[in-house]
Amino acid sequence: MKADVLLGLQWGDEGKGKIVDVLTTKYDIIARFQGGPNAGHTLEFDGIKHVLHTIPSGIFHNGAINVIGNGVVIDPVIFENEIIAIDNLDVEMSKLLISKKAHLILPTHKLLDAASEKAKGKNKIGSTLKGISPTYMDKTGRNGLRVGDISDPNFKEKYEKLKRKHIQILDFYDFEYEVEELEKKWFDSLKTLKRFEHIESEHFIHKALKDGKKILAEGAQGTLLDIDFGSYPFVTSSNTIAAGACTGLGIAPNKIGEVFGIFKAYCTRVGSGPFPSELFDEVGERLGRIGNEFGATTGRSRRCGWIDLPALKYAININGVTKLNMMKADVLSGLDIIKVCTHYMLNGNKIDYLPFEDNENLTPVYTELKGWDKNLMDITSLDEAPKEVHDYIAYLEKELETPISIVSVGPDRKQTFFR
Ligand code: GDP
Ligand code: IMO
Ligand code: MG
């Protein structure tokens, strides 16, 4: 048996949560492999919207086991709030398992994130301020605390040692902070984390694969936010790509099956950094308004633009995407023309890839397709979609050389069509 991977191909918020929820009925195990509460994965069904940050998006289907893998970083306070939010929803909590090797976000990691962003001034990354980068720095620096450490009798001592180191670093910054209250909440919230079974998730996953169980690995963020292949330094601090499922869950590369790549029918980005096809006109404003493009974690407005083929092709190659899922087709309704970025111009030369340098100076080159008027949110089958929708899908499939297996036309589970 092989594990399938589902991940974002743009700058995050493609609609991963929605599709994982829809696909969960086909899987035995849903496992998050990287990122932390910088993620905000939205699911909608029965008229209610749920936003998950740490918990995998398979949690609302009774039956599937949900695993938080070793590659994830956990803030126990945010985790506790997520549990409270779903506690009265008839969710089987016993099916949520947490890797002992997942790293903990300490209160001082969040302070360090804020201090670092403040010091960067106008060059700030636009971090979600959830402490992601300082936590991964401690992981690779071999100083981190992990979920399995909570039951160590010396846990408090280990915590104090790491906190002292953080305080020393904070002293270098011009940054006011208050740690006691945050710390109290943090220690209180560990009780909730302790209620769940802590496992050696790689062994659990190996056995599950051997036993023929179907696994879906759920990514967070998107390929263009990957620490190695994204628009560095305006990226997150983990490998968001398919390889991240190997390191973040302990799945061997030859045990990866399908790779589902999710993209919006247009493009968004939240936070700083290059975005060649960004729109600053009324079309961009319209995409944001109709697409309700506000961050699920921070509430910030998302920057909007046209779909970017060079960036998508790059993401498809890096991840080995086997099937594409196109989200938010409904948001394009009512536009006379839809533009697609096919290339960039850089210093007078036409290029079709994201270069190492000068990302800010890329000028997008567009081709135009005919838009459509019909509201897609009410259609009950893709056959009811206008010809122009099918033309758009066919054009993208040809250019991207990958089949589009799912088209989404609204936030609800039901507004999803398989092709
Ligand atoms: P994720 O981080 O990739 O899980 O995506 P987010 O949840 O942050 O952002 C996607 C947003 O789009 C959420 O508000 C979803 O409810 C919404 N959404 C998902 N699919 C569709 C769709 O096909 N059409 C519309 N209009 N909204 C969608
Ligand atoms: P989901 O899983 C969109 C962005 C932040 C910032 C950069 C670094 O919901 O798609 P960080 O807090 O990770 O240090 O921030 O990455 N970012 C996201 N943008 N969706 C996300 O997650 C994101 N997680 C981080 O806005 O630009
Ligand atoms: Mg999101």
- The 10s digit of each residue's pLDDT in 149-159 is 999 999 999 99
Q: What pLDDT is stored for residue 62 in this prediction?
A: 85
Under the banding of pLDDT at 50, 70 and 90, the label for residue 296 is: confident
CA of 192 to the centre of ligand 1 (A): 29
Ligand that comes closest to the CA of residue 37: 2
**Contact residues for 344 (Cβ-Cβ < 8 A; gap 6+):** 276, 310, 350, 351, 352, 362, 363, 364, 365
pLDDT digits (tens, 9 = 90+) for 7-59: 999 999 999 999 999 999 999 999 999 999 999 999 999 999 999 999 999 99
Q: What pLDDT is stored for residue 158 in this prediction?
A: 98
Ligand that comes closest to the CA of residue 45: 1
Look at ligand 1, atom 6, and give the residue with the nearest C-alpha: 13
The whole-angstrom separation of Cα 3 and Cα 289 is 37
pLDDT digits (tens, 9 = 90+) for 60-116: 998 899 999 999 999 999 999 999 999 878 788 899 999 999 999 999 999 999 999
Evaluate: CB of 12 within 6 angstroms of ligand 2: yes
Torsion angle (degrees, nearest 10) of CA 232, 236, 238, 241: -70
Look at ligand 2, atom 16, and give the residue with the nearest C-alpha: 236
Under the banding of pLDDT at 50, 70 and 90, the label for residue 130 is: very high
pTM above 0.85, yes or no: yes
Closest to 113 (Cα-Cα) out of 69, 161, 177: 177
Of ligand 2's listed atoms, the one at least distance from the Cα of 129 is: 12
Q: Is 394 exposed, middle or buried (0-12, 13-18, 19+ CB in 10 A)?
A: exposed
Based on the residue annotation, tell me whether 352 is a catalytic residue of this protein: no
Evaluate: CB of 261 within 6 angstroms of ligand 1: no
Q: Which of 11, 24, 42, 326 to mutate to test the pocket of ligand 1 (most atoms within 8 A of CB)?
A: 42
Helix axis angle, 242-249 to 201-210, nearest 10° = 110
